[in-house]
Structure 1
Amino acid sequence: MIILMIGIKKEIKMGREAILKSIKKNKPELLPLPDINEEAFDESIDLIETFKSNIAIVGGTVREVDKETIDAEIKEQYPNKTNIISTTNKSILGTVQVDKSTDPHNLENIDLAIIEGDLGVSENGAIWVTANSSIIRVLPFITNDLVIILEKEKIHLHMLEAYDQIAQRDRNFGVFISGPSKTADIEQCLVVGAHGAMSLTVLLV
């Protein structure tokens, strides 16, 4: 006698909370970070000149300006911009007002965004930008052109120093930006502005 057992497949649908709970329950144990001798990476270089050189390599523009001439410099660089968001009190060129409740979908026509960087990294021209400085997370990426104002004293030698500086930060949104948006995945041809801003100008004050 042959007995056929026909199973019934049960489809289990998990909601967002169930998935997060499962991940939390099954996450691996944390491993200690390796000890790194930062002194081994010390270099006697001109931080500002190296930073400027690396910004240029990745397609950005750098200007050293006085705080009083920031807006004049921006007007010279971008004379035809009309839809401008400024999230810094160092510039009064903003024509579009935003706050944390602004719908990002309403920013598709922004010509220029002016924000502040928290710190810079000399070795690669990267700038740390937080949610506090951009107000809206997508702003540095949805704008056509981007201006970042950065104080020279906040430029660090390498990423190790930068991570030391941001280690105690509030765990909100932050991102390192280096140059305008670009990709070379398409036929190994560099395309600028593929995923975000077409240009980046860094104003060092």
Structure 2
Amino acid sequence: MIGIKKDRKMGRESILKSVKQNKPELLQLPDINEATFEEDINLLETFKNNLKAVGGFVKEIDEKSIDTEIKVLHSNKTNIVSTTKKSALGTITIDKNTEPHTLENIDLAILEAELGVSENGAVWVTASNSIVRVLPFITNDLVIILKKENICLHMLKAYDQIAERYRDFGVFISGPSKTADIEQCLVVGAHGAMSLAVLLI
């Protein structure tokens, strides 16, 4: 009919071909002078303050008292996954072949982080730390163990440190899961763990 546009059916291959033909020009990444962002601050105290600001719990402890501290924080947890040898509290064993859906009733997950970021209280967790990618998000509560000497100043430093490492999964976690999108009301545990405790050793 005149005046009515005919529908064009596009298959997967034609869509991909169209995308390839219409790529924007690549732009060079800007050169960033990291010295501009250097600050003479106490990395540990800044990390602790920023983690608390985003709803996390943080405490410096001796490595030998990790399990004692976790028992104080989470005395009523029974379904526990620990992916670190630094804690013997795990009651459920997982491996890389564990079906993620079987973890829906996990009360507590205990794992290690490779590094922390002072400027935002974030910790870097990889597949080797969590074993099953969904673990830090499907658990009700999360405990992360971090060595104090592995705290860096800001995200630029963090990305420098992780740039050369092989990995198929990694995530920065800053505090418990939360959102404030709905009516500007903060909801904790919206998409993941209800609480995050970082134990600094």
TM-score, normalized by the shorter chain, greater than 0.5: yes
Residue correspondence of structure 1 range 1-205 to structure 2 within 5 A: 11-14=9-12, 27-205=23-201
Deviation, 1:102, is 0.5
Cα distance 1:44–1:92, how it changes in 2: closer, same or farther (>3 A)? same
Contact kept in structure 1, 2:77 and 2:108, CA below 8 Å? yes
Q: Structure 1 CA distance, aligned partners of 2:76 and 2:177?
A: 21
Cα distance 1:33–1:74, how it changes in 2: closer, same or farther (>3 A)? same
Q: Any idea what SS the aligned residue of 2:160 has?
A: helix
Indicate the percent of aligned positions where both proteins have the same amino acid: 70
Deviation, 1:13, is 3.2
The amino acid of 2:37's aligned partner reads F
Deviation, 1:167, is 1.0
Contact kept in structure 1, 2:67 and 2:89, CA below 8 Å? yes
Report the count of equivalent residues: 199
Alignment RMSD, CA only? 2.1
The amino acid of 1:163's aligned partner reads Y
Q: Structure 2 CA distance, aligned partners of 1:25 and 1:169?
A: 33
Deviation, 1:22, is 6.7
Q: Structure 2 CA distance, aligned partners of 1:122 and 1:160?
A: 11
The amino acid of 2:53's aligned partner reads I
Structure 1's unaligned 5+ residue stretches are none
Q: Any idea what SS the aligned residue of 1:56 has?
A: helix
Structure 2's unaligned 5+ residue stretches are none
Deviation, 1:172, is 1.3
Q: Any idea what SS the aligned residue of 1:146 has?
A: strand
Q: Any idea what SS the aligned residue of 1:195 has?
A: coil
Cα distance 1:21–1:63, how it changes in 2: closer, same or farther (>3 A)? farther
Cα distance 1:27–1:98, how it changes in 2: closer, same or farther (>3 A)? farther
Cα distance 1:171–1:25, how it changes in 2: closer, same or farther (>3 A)? farther
Indicate the structure (1 or 2) with the bigger Cα radius of gyration. 1
Deviation, 1:9, is 5.7
1:13-62 residue CA offsets vs partner (Å, 9 max, x unmatched): 327xx866775676545433211111111111110011000010000000
Q: Structure 2 CA distance, aligned partners of 1:41 and 1:10?
A: 51
